[in-house]
Amino acid sequence: MELLTIDHVSIAYENERNFAVENVSFSVSGGEYICLIGSNGSGKSTLLKGITGLVHVTRGNIERHVKPDEVAYLSQNHGIGQNFPATVYEVVLSGTQRRDKWRPFYTREDKKTARQAMELFGVTEFKNRRIGNLSGGQQQRALLARAFCRRPKLLLLDEPCAGLDPVITKEFYEILYRLNKDEKIAILMASHDMEQVENYAGRVIVMDQTVEFDGTIQQWREKISEGGGVHV
Ligand SMILES: Nc1ncnc2c1ncn2[C@@H]1O[C@H](COP(=O)(O)OP(=O)(O)OP(=O)(O)O)[C@@H](O)[C@H]1O
């Protein structure tokens, strides 16, 4: 089942002749694990923001064949302010609120979902701590637990492990892989971490404003060995 169709999309921030993303087309199907790779400034984050609606798509069209609540987005860890006035439990629980069914209270079912998500992502022990007091990796896990509460079909991730140590990073990618395999959540992730891309991605899309390559990791390796690689 197709979740997302990106059709000849171009995105410019200011000057309409200076595109950060240019004429990009591809689609994402249920259960795929796709890594968007490319050098700094190649348009990966911009494309993800275009998909989420955070930036305006200048030309072309993005069709989402899923409800807005079925898409979750997690960006780079910029560190939540220490004084952010919510505990891990409150942040995770807020993920159960759906835009189409807003309620002024949480049900017993919502609380159970939040507890399960905290357990799954290993943040139960921090549940009463302010999220801003956690380490970067713990915060990212809590935010992923929050995203998971929505039962998303598609998870968009923008370098979610930037700045995290290698052990935490590996753990985080293992969680993502499990989500993809066990829960069949499709993943579209911008990444510079080629080890993770090699280990987990079923498909890689190489960007340089436009799509330079779209295929399996094996096909990508072959292209590189033939000398056709793009610097990432
Ligand atoms: N808010 C903005 N206003 C103007 N230009 C922007 C803005 N954000 C990004 N750009 C420009 O758009 C282009 C694409 O940037 P983008 O952040 O999408 O690349 P990226 O592939 O995600 O890079 P990185 O790997 O460094 O995160 C770059 O030239 C960048 O300078």
DSSP collapsed to 3 states, the chain: CEEEEEEEEEEECCCCCCEEEEEEEEEEECCCEEEEECCCCCCHHHHHHHHHCCCCCCEEEEEECCCHHHEEEECCCCCCCCCCCCEHHHHHHHCCCCHHHCCCCCCHHHHHHHHHHHHHCCCHHHCCCEHHHCCHHHHHHHHHHHHHCCCCCEEEEECCCCCCCHHHHHHHHHHHHHHHHHCCCEEEEECCCHHHHHHHCCEEEEEECEEEEEECHHHHHHHHHCCCCCCC
- Indicate whether 197 belongs to any domain: yes
Give percent of the chain above pLDDT 90.
64
Predicted model pTM:
0.90
Mean pLDDT of 13-19: 83
| Boundary-marking domain end, from 152, 167, 188 | 152
How confident is the model over 183-209, as a mean pLDDT?
94
At 83 the pLDDT is 76
Query: For residue 152, what are the CA distances in angstroms to 50, 52, 110, 177?
Result: 18, 13, 15, 15
- Inside any domain, residue 195: yes
Q: What is the residue-averaged pLDDT of the chain?
A: 90
Mutate to test the pocket of ligand 1, among 44, 73, 191 (most ligand atoms within 8 A of CB): 44
Judgement on whether residues 146 and 158 belong to the same structural domain of the protein: no
Which pLDDT score, from 0 to 100, does residue 113 have? 93
Cβ of 38 below 6 Å from ligand 1: yes
Residue 19 domain flag: yes
Q: Per residue in 55-87, pLDDT tens?
A: 999 999 999 999 888 999 998 866 677 778 899
**Residues 220 and 169 placed together within one structural domain of the fold:** yes
Claim to verify: residue 157 and residue 214 sit in the same structural domain: yes
* Phi/psi of residue 97, nearest 5 degrees: -70, 125
Q: Is the CB of 41 under 6 A from ligand 1?
A: yes
On the question of pLDDT at 168 being above 90, the answer is no
Q: Does the C-beta of 46 come closer than 6 Å to ligand 1?
A: yes
- How high is the pLDDT of residue 77? 67
For residues 40 and 8, membership in a common domain is answered with yes
Position 17 scores a pLDDT of 75
The pLDDT value recorded for residue 228 is 61
Residue owning tokens 């891309």? 197
| In-domain check, residue 72 | no
Ligand 1 center to 43 CA (angstroms) = 6
Q: Where is the domain boundary, 152, 168, 202?
A: 152
Residue that the structure tokens 């929050």 belong to? 146
Same domain, 61 and 172: yes
* Structure-token pair, residue 54: 């955070």
Query: Is pLDDT of 231 > 60?
Result: no
Domain with 216 in it: 1-66+153-231
Domain identity same for 137 and 197: no
The complex scores an ipTM of: 0.98
137 lines ligand 1 (CB under 6 A): no
What's the structural domain count of the chain? 2
Q: Is there a domain that residue 74 lies in?
A: no
Confidence of residue 200 (pLDDT cuts 50, 70, 90): very high
> In this prediction, what percent of the chain has a pLDDT beyond 70?
95
Question: Per-residue pLDDT for 19 more than 60?
Answer: yes
Measure the CA angle with vertex 175, ends 169 and 69; round to 5°: 115
Q: Are residues 140 and 159 in the same domain?
A: no
